Chain A
């Protein structure tokens, strides 16, 4: 436990990638396999189970500290982290005496003080918790509380963990990254097999690390000759890989989770692919020729089981835009044009949803015959043809009507790299929607922004009142957050726990990617990925937008219902 606590704080104390890898390497090199497996589960950020409810913990801690419960809550609102709050208020006495912490490994500690507690009654839970408190110093208590309440998150990416594990195991980092995808490291044995130098049987199902695109920061014309690039629509769905190897097909999200259960019809369709195939693409919700957008796909993505009704309501297709493995051979090193040629031969149907041209419909009919063997749920992402950057820009300007987010630009000669490789894949998104909105509520942030009011609820006018329409967590510079925090404190009207209702005085330019009607939101609209673009200090609340303005944007955003004869082949 002490070793893991040290790792936690070493990772916490630095922002340097190298120092983080060093801390991880030191940990994994020294930890027994059983503990290492346990640590990996925590580091992977996967779902953790809560052994004791935080309500009970707060009550017990209040009693141990000799303070009333409301004061614990005040402290929590101030600190912004419950595990830390409780660790700080508990008596320090006795903690210093035990420098070793709980004198057992992470795995044993998890088992005896956390996992076994889940079945215990409250009295047993309390006895164990109080006993552990006495044996841990505050810095160890924080980590243990996080484990106990299932909220232990550590700021390391999977890539860094993979790098450290690769160094310890003595294998190539790319091999380790692949092994880690979807690998269920649950015990010492699975950890040992992860760390073996030899290729493992479990490699067979694993997807490849996703190549991530970056946003275009310059004029696309500055990227060079348009002929060096392939353009595709930037689909508004969920990124995924289909891995068809051996006897089965698996579907992987970009978050590296297996999502077979959520998209059974895609998995069934993928079975028709020849074995030894890996496709990279997008899961899209499509009705007829209309794209239903990310919001629709996300109704399915988290599901363990999809009810019939939802299958009908949100029909999905898989639109492939890259071929990573063919006939069991990793072809990521081939140039994109070569991979696409093979992809279009393997998956001949283009996705025409969102307003495909008539010419494509003819091509579609032509290929449908010889592609009859492949279900129409597997499509490829057609190239958007433009002889110049101007014509691509014109195509891009039709994005909103089509229900896509803009264009993707991919370098013709590029291999399929690992992670966020800058320079080969660019997102050329359409400009976001924007509206001026007024700050209504503010809440203290967590982590780096604990204690600062950095989560904002913004509203627009409706019937002479301001109605909340979006929550924005980002977009301001640190100094602006500090300044706004002062204003929030000075203009607070009411406090509800950590949330402050403020006098509406501050106006912000709010940007968002999508907008739809919603029955779950008070104002009747839901915006997607809202963020603050700019603090409009020159504006006052009467200058802010209205709900009617947002409703007009919804009409603009209604998608994929008009044909666009240009720009597609």
Chain B
């Protein structure tokens, strides 16, 4: 029988149900795995997302769009295709999309991670026939440490900066990683300050019932604020900008999975790099693939060729899902900026020159 999903000009399309998953064009009906800019474009006719991600998605696509939500595990029939959403552990409200039709089950992971994250529901393995997985960090050099160990490293860095009278600036993606880091650090060390783009999402998280420590907003730039003591969480685009001037002497650290590599750390010229990712590491990808018990695995954005070849050698029926997304996520400057947001959507956007420009996270981060 026909595949439940195909790649079209507008994105991943389910013909049987007549809907798209994370389309990169405006379509009548879109199921959204999570609210990062590359997966959640504004302007669609109707959205469906997991219930915990409702407010976050709303803050991204605007108030006008009709958004339906589905509790994790509940089933909805769309034109005869059974749809259910299951936690992906990536950011608040991130979901794997399970489709069932004519006796065949597909799961699209969106982005996911297996590590514990107090700001979202943990990844739930879902058995299926066909598993569509991301592969952002699909090389064995990418293996994450225990989140507690990394949190201790960040706390130690913050404390040392505070003792030396420097402001700690931690660069992280505004949706998801910023909140996860805020929840992980030790607020007794000093005040936590959030960049405007971060605060917008902090509010959506709090309104969704996620507990976060007190985070101050950056006031109008009148005088130095929290200088020497604070931990400032801001999107990567502020690196090297005048925006940092109000904090006096700073130590700037980047939190990203790409920080695993010495070359990337050095090239970006940050004072410090913390290996923190909301994507699965290499063992995580293999674990999730095995847990799906799928007879067929389709690999999308990231190290698609590499992971596919490895799976094939291990006897798995695997193939690259030929999306128009960039085939590889190189750890260059732009991708580090938007590990979660731009690894594919940048290319997705370019691939469709007719799509109207939409406010994405990058523009937001410029504020």
Contact = CB atoms under 8 A, between A and B. Distances in A.
Partners in one complex: yes
Interface of A: 12-13, 15, 65, 67-68, 70-71, 74-75, 78-81, 84-85, 88-89, 92, 142, 446-452, 478-479, 482, 485-486, 489
Contacts of A92: 143
A479 B141 CA distance: 26
Contacts of B260: 88
A256 to B, nearest CB: 26
Contacts of B269: 15
A71 B332 contact: no
B264 interface: yes
Interface string B270-287: 011000000000000000
Contact of B266 (A75, A142, A447, A482): A447
B262 A451 contact: no
A84 B261 contact: yes
B262 A450 contact: yes
Given A15-B269, A71-B310, A482-B333, A450 B143 contact: no
Contacts of A451: 261, 263-264, 330-332
A88 B263 contact: no
Nearest to A155: B266
B267 interface: yes
Q: 10 nearest interchain CB pairs? A: A450-B263, A88-B141, A448-B266, A89-B140, A482-B332, A482-B333, A448-B267, A75-B141, A451-B331, A74-B306
24 contacts: A12-B262, A67-B310, A68-B310, A71-B139, A71-B306, A71-B310, A78-B141, A79-B263, A81-B263, A88-B140, A88-B141, A88-B142, A88-B260, A449-B263, A450-B262, A450-B263, A450-B264, A451-B261, A451-B263, A478-B333, A479-B333, A482-B332, A485-B332, A489-B328
Contacts of A68: 310, 313
B264 A65 contact: no
A12 B266 contact: yes
A479 B337 CA distance: 13
A398 B25 CA distance: 64
A452 B262 contact: no
Nearest to A451: B331
A451 B271 CA distance: 20
Q: In this complex, which of A71, A84, A479 has the most chain B Cβ atoms within 10 angstroms of its Cβ? A: A71
B78 interface: no
A273 B210 CA distance: 84
B253 to A, nearest CB: 11
Contacts of B207: none
A contacts with B: majority SS: helix
Interface string B32-57: 00000000000000000000000000
Q: How large is the interface on B (under 10, 10 to 19, 20 to 34, 35 or more residues)?
A: 20 to 34
B334 interface: yes
B262 to A, nearest CB: 6
Contacts of B306: 71, 74
Interface in B240-272: 260-264, 266-267, 269, 271-272
Interface string B325-354: 011101111100000000000000000000
A4 B143 CA distance: 25
A142 B262 CA distance: 10
B107 to A, nearest CB: 25
A13 B160 CA distance: 16
Given A75-B140, A448-B267, A452-B332, 4 more contacts: A68-B313, A450-B267, A451-B263, A489-B327
B267 A449 contact: yes
A394 to B, nearest CB: 45
Contacts of B326: 489
Contacts of A489: 326-328, 330
Contacts of B143: 88, 92
Contacts of B262: 12, 81, 84, 142, 450
B123 to A, nearest CB: 21
A146 to B, nearest CB: 11
Nearest to B273: A13
Contacts of B266: 12, 447-448
A65 B140 contact: yes
Nearest to B269: A15
Given A71-B310, A489-B328, A79 B261 contact: yes
Contacts of B330: 451-452, 485, 489
Contact of A74 (B139, B267, B271, B272): B139
A265 to B, nearest CB: 45
Nearest to A80: B263
Nearest to B261: A79
Nearest to B149: A96
A15 B267 CA distance: 11
Nearest to B334: A482
Interface in B270-320: 271-272, 303, 306, 309-310, 313
Contacts of A485: 330, 332
A152 to B, nearest CB: 14
A164 B77 CA distance: 72
A85 B263 contact: no
Contact of A89 (B141, B263, B309, B313): B141
A65 B283 CA distance: 11
A448 B313 contact: no
Contact of A67 (B140, B267, B327): B140
A84 B327 CA distance: 24
A137 to B, nearest CB: 11
A88 B263 CA distance: 13
A81 B140 CA distance: 14
Contacts of B313: 68
A538 B266 CA distance: 32
A70 B326 CA distance: 22
Contacts of A479: 333
A521 to B, nearest CB: 30
A447 B140 contact: no
A448 B263 contact: yes
A482 B271 CA distance: 21
Contacts of A89: 140-141
